[in-house]
Amino acid sequence: MDQPGDLLPAISDLDFSIPSDIAAGAEDALVEISRFDAELAASLPRADGELAPLAVVLLRTESASSSQIEGVTAGAKALAIATLNESSGQNARMVAANVEAMQKAIDLADDLSTDSILAAHLALMHDQAYAHPGRLRDGQVWIGGGPTPHTATFVPPRRERVPALMDDLVRFCRRTDIPVLTQVSIAHAQFETIHPFNDGNGRTGRTLVHAMLRRSGVTRRLTVPVSAGLLTDTDAYFAALGSYRDGDPAPIISQFSRASFAAVGNGRRLVSDLTGIYAEWQQILPSRQGSAARRVLPHLLSQPAVTVDHIQKHLEVSQPAARRAVDQLVEAGVLKQISTGKRDRVWIARDVITALDDFATRSGRRG
């Protein structure tokens, strides 16, 4: 059993002695994250004056992976449909909520505070009343071990300590004298040890990771799929959290370094797959440049399930123009209809769905 949570120290003013090889590995991983983030700008041509949305794809896969660590799985097809607010399973809707929560990381980066962390939790858990969305827990919780805390794997601090510990964590996150990935790793482990919410701690804690990376300037295009890297070895990740609670931060820093390299490698492969798909689409689609069908192609990389109404609103075109675009994309083999009937029909870009599911499989998704 880890040390009792009530022995958890404040960390805002602590000095951490990190072995040189662990610190060097974290710095190398940070350089790789920054390099990959910069590569996204050159991955695809601009569409309608804006960067083609590969960063949004990575955001979605990161959100999905973040949920999968806690046993919530949803395939790319179900998630894409859930994003349309069409009929979908509970798991897909939960992962879709994670996308909104990860978007909150942008706000966290600008104003990192307990309140902004509460806002991210509210976005993540807004339809799950038992979790008290957007509120710190008001009772004792424990991790593992059955119906009582006496046999638990870990018992977090008493609720009375949580507000002060969260304020201390925010002060730690704002420090500028600690190498970034080392700081991110420790902050994440401290957050998970405080366990400030009734539920959704893991997902909110991983949102904090990306807020800190963005705040530090390491990432500018929202997110690199670090949670997907953590997913490749969840046993080691949870063991590293246990070591942190026993007073040794080195293993969690190593896990984040490893996860970062794994995530970047996997992310680069996803970018390559999607770039190839986009290039092939441009070749096989006979529509002229500037047509609605061609204008929707980059959007399909980040939203591979669409309806006529969705395309109409996204492109700001008439319904007949949107319907004509769908017909042309179906004829070219870019889209395939997956629902029947005349109303609320949904089409998917199967190649993108396959690329996203392959990404998740490489990440070690289970279920």
The predicted pLDDT at position 73 comes to: 60
The predicted pLDDT at position 327 comes to: 95
Write down the H helix ranges in the chain. Answer: 20-39, 54-68, 76-83, 90-110, 114-125, 162-173, 180-194, 201-215, 226-231, 234-245, 250-284, 292-302, 308-315, 319-331, 350-363
The predicted pLDDT at position 341 comes to: 63
25 is in an annotated binding site: no
Q: What is the distance between the alpha carbons of residues 325 and 330, in angstroms, rounded to a whole number?
A: 9
The predicted pLDDT at position 148 comes to: 76
The DSSP string of 96-110 is HHHHHHHHHHHHHHH
Report whether 260 contacts 32 (CB < 8 A).
Answer: yes
89 is in an annotated binding site: no
Residue-level length of the chain: 367
The predicted pLDDT at position 58 comes to: 62
205 is in an annotated binding site: yes
Report field, pTM of the whole predicted structure over 0.85: no
DSSP β-ladder status, 347-348 and 336-337: antiparallel
Exposed/middle/buried for residue 49 (C-beta within 10 Å: 0-12, 13-18, 19+): exposed
204 is in an annotated binding site: yes
Structural domains of the chain sorted by starting position, each given as residue range(s) with its CATH number in brackets: 18-269 (1.10.3290.10), 287-356 (1.10.10.10)
The predicted pLDDT at position 366 comes to: 44
Task: Divide the 367 residues of the chain into consecutive groups of 10 and give the mean pLDDT of each group.
Answer: 64 94 96 85 52 56 60 65 62 61 67 89 81 91 76 87 96 95 96 94 84 84 69 86 94 95 87 90 87 91 88 92 95 89 82 86 61
203 is in an annotated binding site: yes
Three-state DSSP class for 127? coil
The predicted pLDDT at position 56 comes to: 60
Which residues have a catalytic role annotated? Answer: 195
